[in-house]
Chain A
C-alpha cells in the first residue's frame, strides 16, 4: 500500500519519464529496423559479406552498454550529453537482432517456392516484395520484438548520460538509497517490456498463421 501511494504521489514524474523512455526506445528501434531490414536483405544477396558483417555486429553487441555510452560521449555529431547519444547507442544494440533475423528469415523461405516464383517470371524485386518478405515477415518481426524488449531495459542506463527516461528514477534511488524510487523506475520499465513483448508477439503470430503449410 505504501508503495502504491508513493507511485500515485509521483505519478506525474513517472508518466513524464515513461514518455521519454518510450520515445528513446521507439526512435532507436525504428531506426534500427530502417537500417537493419534493408541491410539484412542486402546480405542475402551478397552472401560473402554476411559472415563479416554479422560478426562485427555481434562483437559490437558485447561492448558493455555503459562503456558504449561513454565511448560515444566525446564523438562529434552523434556524441554529447542527451537523448541523441542514447538513441545512437540503443540503435547499435537493437540493430543486431533485426539484421540477423531478417537475414535468417529470408534464407529460411523454402527454396522451392522461391524457384517457382522465378520460374513463373517474377523479377527479383517482385519476388522480394511478393514472396520472400511476406514469408520471412514473422521472423523479421521476432527480431524487431527482441530489439524492442532489449532496448527498453538498456534505455534505463541512458539516464547516466542525461538522456532522461525511467533510468532517472533508478539512478536517483540508488544515489539516495531509496528502494521505492528505484522501483518507481524499474516497475514501469518492466511493465513496458512485457507490454511490448505481448503486443509484438500478437502481431508476429498473426503474420505466421499460414506458415505451417
Chain B
C-alpha cells in the first residue's frame, strides 16, 4: 500500500504523518516497530536496518503510544507503566522509581493513581498512562498513533499542551500519526502529507501554507488555517 515514502526524523524532532484514512500513515508507523514488514525498502532506526534486528528487542527500544492508550485492563496503572522495564528485566526498585517518575511527568501522581485499574480512569488519564508507559524505558524514539484522537476537545487540548512540554524536555525523535491538521501544526516540527501511500509534500508549517505543492495539499492545509 505504501510506495515511495522517504522520510528522516532527527533526534528531538517531531514529524507528523497526516492524510485521509487509508493513506498509509499507520502502516508507515507499524513498519518502524515491525508490527508490519515491508516487501521492499528499508527502515533505519539510529542507523540500523530494523529488518535485520530482532523484532522483540527492537520494540522494547521504541516507545509506542496508541489511541485510547491500549492499556492492559487487568493490570493497574503502575504495572502497565512498568511493562517494558519488566520485559527488559529491570529489578523492582528501579522499576518502581521509574514508574513514579514518569507518572509524575504526565501529572498522575503514582501515590494516587498507581493502584487504579484503567477502567477507573477518564479517557484523558488513560491516554496519559499510555504516554507514561511509552516513556518508561526512556526510548530514544517515540511512535504515536493518533494518541489524542479519541479524546474530547478539552482533554485533547490539555494533552497537546503537555506534549509540547515533554517534547522540549525529552529530546526524542517522535513520529506522530494524526488526521487532524491543526494538531499536526501545533505539535510537529515537520509534517508529511500522505495520500494513497505516497508523500504529497513534507515540510514545515510555513512550507505547506506558503508553498503548497498541489491542490490536494492546499485543500488539506486550508482546513486548519
Contacts and interface: CB of A to CB of B under 8 A. Distances in A.
A213 B57 contact: no
A126 B59 CA distance: 14
Contact of B74 (A112, A115, A118, A135): A135
Interface centre among A112, A116, A118, A210 (most CB of B within 10 A): A116
B178 interface: no
Contact of A115 (B60, B70, B117): B70
A212 B117 CA distance: 11
Interface residues of B, number: 22
B83 A120 contact: yes
A152 B116 CA distance: 40
Interface string A122-147: 11001000110011000000000000
Contact of A121 (B59, B66, B70): B59
Interface residues of A, number: 20
A51 interface: no
Interface centre among A115, A120, A123, A126 (most CB of B within 10 A): A120
A37 B42 CA distance: 41
A130 B86 CA distance: 12
A116 B73 contact: no
Contacts of B33: 119
Nearest to A122: B87
B212 to A, nearest CB: 34
B131 interface: no
B64 A213 contact: no
A22 interface: no
Contacts, number: 58
Contacts of A122: 56, 83, 87
B118 A121 contact: no
B172 interface: no
Nearest to A126: B87
B78 interface: no
Contacts of B60: 120-121
B43 to A, nearest CB: 15
B119 interface: yes
A176 B59 CA distance: 72
B53 to A, nearest CB: 12
Contacts of A212: 119
Given A116-B70, A118-B59, A210 B84 contact: no
A117 interface: yes
Enumerate the 8 nearest inter-chain pairs by beta-carbon distance, A residue then B residue, closest first: A116-B70, A213-B119, A121-B60, A121-B59, A213-B73, A119-B64, A134-B74, A121-B87
Interface of A: 112-113, 115-123, 126, 130-131, 134-135, 210-213
Given A119-B35, A212-B119, A213-B73, 14 more contacts: A113-B71, A113-B72, A113-B73, A115-B70, A117-B72, A118-B59, A120-B60, A120-B83, A121-B60, A121-B84, A122-B56, A122-B83, A126-B87, A135-B74
